[in-house]
Amino acid sequence: MNEYWEYILQPEDDGKKYQEILSRRFHFSHRLLQTLKQGERVWVNDKFTYLTARGKTGEKLALALQLREESQIRGENLPLDILYEDDYLLAVNKPAGQVVHPIPRYPEHTLGNAVTGYWERQGEPRPFRPVHRIDRNTSGVVLIAKNHFAHQQLAWQMEHGLVEKIYLGFIHGHLLEPQGIWNGPIGLAEGSYIQHAVRNDGLPALTHYRILKTYAEVSLVEFILATGRTHQIRVHCQFSGHPLLGDDLYGGDTASIVRQALHSFCYRFHHPATGQAFAIKAPLPTDLRNLGHLLMSQHRVSR
């Protein structure tokens, strides 16, 4: 494991406090900077220093970001489909039917239990820090930060619209336009604590869609989320008159699949440590591939 995050000070950093450089250039939060002030965690040219000291061009600033932390979640030895892992990130392909984080209704067998157990077996216990969540019956990519720094950096990217979230889904019917934007504010449906709906007093919600394939009475659609509201794609599909197959909460038929036919396919972002452009993809799971084969065979028969 690489214990230090390093940066070589540039001419524009000359004379500035290290904490100012980290805050303005790398968006370090106040909380993270306070954490770094506890103990010897900041080094310049291999010598301990304080964040309030001023830097010089060419100096090597090194931060001890990999702190040993304990998880509050009980680890379990569960299957885990790892798509990518390094010192800062873990990306997994979550199966449909699994909750991301333990809650009173689902206290065990969650992705959090699986990831915590995996890290414990590696001898590296740490808190479970998902950067985002997907619904229990949605499959696909979930990004997990392995330390406070990575979580804060990715959360900043999410907040500023720098993370591209791409989903694939099978919807009822055919859309009039091959691509477009659904712009409908979302809030809780009247009288419900679970179901959401497009409503004037809701939070802004923007979904880009593009038709990838059409079948007899179904379309395979790519969705790109510009916002991240609860059930956003599911709600916008219902509001458009084309609910997701299998989504019984939002009017989808469950004859061909028993869960919403929605998959978190790809996340594009910049690596929190290197700034490198990154893309994590998860292939369609077996049930959605089988659904596609079924729809194709039905389409051929109908023709």
Q: Specify whether 46 is catalytic.
A: no
8 C-beta neighbours (distance < 10 Å), count: 10
From the candidates 14, 87, 135, 248, give the one annotated as an active-site residue. 135
Name residues whose C-beta falls within 8 Å of residue 260's C-beta, 6 or more positions apart in sequence: 135, 137, 138, 169, 234, 244, 245, 246, 247, 249, 250, 252
Q: Are 252 and 243 in contact (CB under 8 A)?
A: yes
Q: 170 — phi, psi (to 5°)?
A: -100, 125
Q: How many residues in the chain?
A: 303
Q: Are 77 and 116 in contact (CB under 8 A)?
A: no
CA distance 50 to 42: 7
Kind and range of the H or E element at 292? helix 286-302
Q: Active-site residues: which are they?
A: 135
